Chains A and B, each alone.
Chain A
Amino acid sequence: MNFALPDELIAFRDLARDFAAREIAPHARKWDAEKWISEDAVRRAGEVGLLGVTAPEGFGGAGQGMLAMTVVVEEIARHCGAFALLIAAHSGLCSGHIKLAGSDEQKRKYLPRLARGELIGSWCLSEPHCGTDAAALTTRAEKSGRGWVLNGQKMWVTNGRRAGVYVVMAKTKPEAGPRTISAFIVEREAKGLEVGEPEDKMGMRGSDTTPLALENVQVGEDALCGALHDGYVDALRVLDRGRVTIGALSVGLARGCLEEAVKYAAERRSFGVPLHAHQAIQMKLADMDTQVEAARLLVRQAAYGFDAGRPDKQAASIAKLFASEMASRVGWDSIQIHGGAGYTKDVCVERLVRDNKLCEIGEGSSEVQRMLIARAEFAKRAAS
């Protein structure tokens, strides 16, 4: 066992930490209010390499694995959950799906531009009437002479407005069962693709979440990403990794809440002593620190499993469940330590807490994670 990050990842961490402090932290409140992360900041993130950490080296990326992803996402989320979510959907889901299932030609065509941030990616699974129960999706792709025609409604599309390319899951043979889903790469310019009004969300507000309408969208044969009817399995594999990334996002948000609380508890005085001299505050800080540490270990453990070729879906679920619920607890405690100040937008904590609520919902709700974890525990014992 070895818990020390390799030097290479420490370099990525420092790059992301520096970028987050300089280019994200000063603007995050504004982005939250305006519901939009500036294009400039996204472009610069691409320039320094933060949008292509996990893209293969041959396709313009840094060729890193999930562990690097968790390290980078934690640093970004420390100051802004929305920016981290943009990266998670862009690199993890969209580029990740193309990397996992795409043809060499598709990789050549999209991955380098995605890695550099010239193109922002999006991934579309959920629909108005199916979230957790993804196999119930109704978007349809039908064979036409020159390729495929897509029809349907997508929802909760992260990066929906700023994306130049979408990986869209659609049914290709519904008569053969709910899981005959395939993935298609659809470009923004495609005729019939309409991006709806962004949702007015509680948190993650700088990240644009939109509905997406597909009306007779014609794509070529070469838009099919991965094997025909096999997209559901690929989507689940992408989601397994995505869960670890969301866990890392929560670790970053919670760390922000903790660091702000530690700082405030040292500066603010009551009854003639700093707040942190009171045991009531010490107990809270200790629990917050313990939970953040445990969550980071679970997240990195799950991430490393993928990198080492031993993916453990239960570990990914555990990491996401624990990290996302822990970050909410840590966030509320941080607001409590800040008192009135924590209830205002002058302190970033209330924003980080709002951001984190998404992590308990997106990419598999806490309820789904618990179902999966329990199922895995029972399976271990039913076999014996």
Chain B
Amino acid sequence: MSTIPTTTTDAAADFGWDLGEDHRLLRDSVREFAENEVLNGAGERDVRGEFPREIIRRLSEMGYLGICVPEQYGGAGLDSLAACLVVEELSRADASVGVIVSVQNSLVIDPILRHGSEAQKQRWLPRMARGELLNCFSLSEPNSGSDAGAMLCRATFKGDHWLIHGTKCWVTTGAEADMILLFARSEDAPRRNASAFVIEKSTPGITVGKHEEKMGIRASSTTELIFDNVKVPADALLGERGRGLSIALSAISGGRLGIAAQAIGIAQMALDKAAKYALARKQFGKPIAEFQAIQWKIADMATRLAASRALTYKGAWHKDRGEFKGLRRVGAMAKVFAGETARFCANEAVQVLGGMGYCREEGVERLYRDAKITEIYEGTSEMNRLAIAETLSADPGPLTDV
């Protein structure tokens, strides 16, 4: 049962950035949940590296694990902007919760919606949307990160099934996930020949390997997945054989919006913490908010945050209109800019809080550590800049408009 307020995308809406009433209600209700249920304990989960199991269960009850799944498959049927708002508000309280929700929705459900057969959609989407099945996305390998085409994990077709063999790494939610969207090399050609598979993690031969001990987003798990001649049925293949890499790249293209939203959530909390502290903290006989040196930090944080939101929401708008060229360009911009804004804001927040910022108690140093990942995963800032530059040489101008 979904308790998400419904939203509609109105393509004929007046020009403007205003969140409609529906999106505002959604944002407010997620914010309330995040402040009451997610923020408490975020610090402890971070220290212990503890997966937020109960929170994910609550989120699944509310329908946030299938935000963009159409109602016919049991989801909330909302748009990409709604997904961004949910991830943003959750990440403001705990970036680990944000990424788990983003991966579930953007990296796994979205490709199944886009490339899955009707049977695959009916089989998997309702249970994913209800949160009965938690998802992970498995592309990276020890020797292939940004260069995904160089993967070695092998899928061999055996007439009525596939045999999968290899080692994957950097799998978010790898330990807890029930389902894997896996990419493996399926042809003999040297590169760009991967296929995508939707696989149950309980399939014999799959083991969870090393758990990474990370700098940040410590409450989300990041693991190796080891595939030892795993036999998967022929109908696990998602989309066309040999076309898996483009499925992966288009998933990441949309996933960038989720990570940009995560970064915005982190940056917003950094600004909130810094501004609140500056109003309360007194030095030289007045609140430090009255010193221009502090005001400048707050102004720069707010400015970059506004720019990050504008880029991210526009990226979501492109996605909802099916404009993939716009999504590739603006989505990459959103992720680069929002990621760097998160790191900037977290750093400035630590500085404003001084010694208190450097200690765990206020949760600001956690923001600083969490922020860094947004510049690395789902396309590093460097890869995203290359993608933007590529669109520029393809279309040199006038560089304006949507």
Contacts and interface: CB of A to CB of B under 8 A. Distances in A.
Interface of A: 1-6, 9, 13, 17, 67, 74, 78, 255, 258-259, 262-263, 265-266, 276, 279, 281-283, 285-287, 289-290, 292-298, 300-301, 304, 308, 310, 314-315, 318, 321-322, 369-371, 373-378, 380-382
A377 B298 contact: yes
A216 to B, nearest CB: 41
Contacts of B385: 282-283, 286-287
B333 A290 contact: yes
B292 A371 contact: yes
B307 A297 contact: yes
Contacts of A373: 298-299, 302-303
Contacts, number: 172
Contacts of A301: 16-17, 310
Contact of A5 (B279, B289, B333, B401): B401
B21 to A, nearest CB: 12
A3 B16 CA distance: 6
Decide if the interface of chain B is mainly helix, strand, loop or mixed: helix
A296 B332 CA distance: 17
Given A74-B400, A262-B392, A378 B275 contact: yes
Secondary structure dominating the interface of A: helix
B20 interface: yes
Interface in B355-402: 382, 384-390, 392-393, 396-402
User: What 8 A-B pairs have minimum CB-CB distances, sorted nearest first?
Assistant: A374-B295, A282-B389, A297-B310, A286-B385, A370-B299, A286-B388, A373-B299, A294-B307
B279 A381 contact: yes
Interface stretch (B7-15, B115-123, B227-235): B7-15
B15 A285 contact: no
Contacts of A78: 398
Contacts of A370: 295-296, 299-300
Contacts of A263: 396-397
B81 interface: yes
A337 to B, nearest CB: 12
Interface in B214-253: none
A259 B14 CA distance: 29
Contacts of A255: 397-400
Given A287-B385, A318-B302, A381-B275, A294 B333 contact: yes
Interface in B285-323: 289, 292, 294-296, 298-300, 302-304, 306-308, 310-311, 313-314, 317
B263 interface: no
Contacts of A262: 392-393, 396-397, 399
B397 A286 contact: no
Given A259-B397, A292-B399, A3 B317 contact: yes
B278 interface: yes
Given A74-B400, A255-B400, A297-B17, 15 more contacts: A1-B13, A1-B81, A2-B15, A2-B317, A13-B400, A255-B398, A255-B399, A259-B396, A263-B396, A286-B385, A289-B399, A294-B310, A308-B16, A314-B302, A371-B295
A374 B299 contact: yes
A276 B394 CA distance: 11
Given A255-B399, A370-B300, A381-B276, A304 B17 contact: yes
A13 B15 CA distance: 15
Contacts of A380: 275
Contacts of B296: 370, 374
A321 B389 CA distance: 25
30 contacts: A1-B23, A1-B81, A2-B11, A2-B14, A3-B314, A3-B402, A6-B15, A255-B399, A258-B397, A259-B398, A262-B393, A263-B397, A266-B393, A279-B386, A282-B385, A289-B329, A297-B307, A308-B14, A308-B16, A308-B18, A310-B18, A315-B306, A322-B307, A374-B294, A374-B296, A375-B295, A377-B298, A377-B302, A378-B289, A381-B279
A4 B402 contact: yes
A301 B306 CA distance: 10
Contacts of A298: 306-307, 310
B234 to A, nearest CB: 42
Nearest to A314: B302
A286 B392 CA distance: 8
Contacts of A2: 10-16, 317
Contacts of B276: 381
